[in-house]
Amino acid sequence: DGGITQSPKYLFRKEGQNVTLSCEQNLNHDAMYWYRQDPGQGLRLIYYSQIVNDFQKGDIAEGYSVSREKKESFPLTVTSAQKNPTAFYLCASSISSRNEKLFFGSGTQLSVL
Amino acid sequence: GQNIDQPTEMTATEGAIVQINCTYQTSGFNGLFWYQQHAGEAPTFLSYNVLDGLEEKGRFSSFLSRSKGYSYLLLKELQMKDSASYLCAVRSTGANNLFFGTGTRLTVIP
């Protein structure tokens, strides 16, 4: 089945540690996105990529980094510079950055130990 | 800037009809979207409006008025499984992503 896979489902980060969230899609989509979801707030865009080897900062990119070395993969690293990392992280993709319909992964809940 | 307002919570009875409103302010409107999200799960696409009027898709319909900066999602014949959050999102002209509202948590009661 085609879709987006995020892993792990739950992740714990220690103080000063970098952690990486995985996102893989087999939909052959060009565009991929990372959103952060906090209680009582809308989804906020962290980074997006319109095509392989290219990515752009979203509204809350500080403390995060990404790479897009392959079309299928768009991992997100939460660095130690992100002081409030506890949130639900959602990865999404679309056929192109101008396509309306986003397909979302099932999310990763990141918590701080 | 952009802003989206939608009610935080709503409750409705199984079998009834419920309307979830969304008002928005944006420069250069280029489409409005509704997504459904069950707790702890991925949002799923429900509807897309770019022109004024009503789009119907089974039990779900979505309406848009660009002049009023207003949309609503109408759910008919409510079922218990419709208990979820409903996210309104807007795309602006030239933007490569969507701006999401905080979502409306709908609870369907027997």
User: Which residues make beta-bridge pairs with A37?
Assistant: A88
Provide the greatest CA pair distance for chain A.
39
Q: pLDDT at residue B37 above 70? A: yes
- Can you spell out the DSSP letters for A6-43? EE-SEEEE-TT--EEEEEEE-S--SEEEEEEE-TTS--
Return mean pLDDT, chain B.
Answer: 94
Residue A74 pLDDT: 98
Q: Which residues of A touch B33 (CB under 8 A)?
A: 100, 102
Tell me if residue A97 falls in helix, strand or coil. Answer: coil
Among A4, A40, A102, the residue with its CB nearest the CB of B98 is: A102
* pLDDT band for position B80 (cuts 50, 70, 90): very high
Residue A100 pLDDT: 67
Evaluate the CA torsion angle B39, B42, B45, B49 in order and state its sign.
positive
Give the integer Cα–Cα distance in Å for A21 and A57: 17
**B102 CA to chain A: closest CA distance, Å?**
4
Residue B92 pLDDT: 85
Q: Which residues of A touch B23 (CB under 8 A)?
A: none
Q: Do B97 and A101 touch (CB under 8 A)?
A: no
Backbone angles phi, psi at B55, to 5 degrees: -115, 125
Count of CB atoms situated within 10 Å of the CB of A39: 7
Range in A23-27, B36-40, B105-109 with the lowest mean pLDDT = B36-40
User: Which residues make beta-bridge pairs with A92?
Assistant: A33, A104
Which residue does chain B place closest to A93, by CA atoms? B97
- Can you spell out the DSSP letters for B46-85? EEEE-SSEEEEETTEEEEEETTTTEEEEEE-S--GGG-EE
Q: How many Å from the N-terminal Cα to the C-terminal Cα in chain A?
A: 35
Residue partners of A42: CB distance under 8 A and separation at least 6: B4, B87, B99, B100, B101, B102, B103
Q: How far is CA B46 from the centre of its chain?
A: 8
Q: pLDDT at residue B109 above 70? A: yes
One digit per residue, pLDDT tens: chain A, 113 residues?
679 999 999 999 888 899 999 999 999 999 999 999 998 888 999 999 999 999 999 999 999 999 999 999 999 999 998 989 999 999 999 988 776 689 999 999 999 88
Q: Do A23 and A105 touch, CB atoms closer than 8 A?
A: yes
Give the integer Cα–Cα distance in Å for B9 and B105: 5
Residue B50 pLDDT: 92
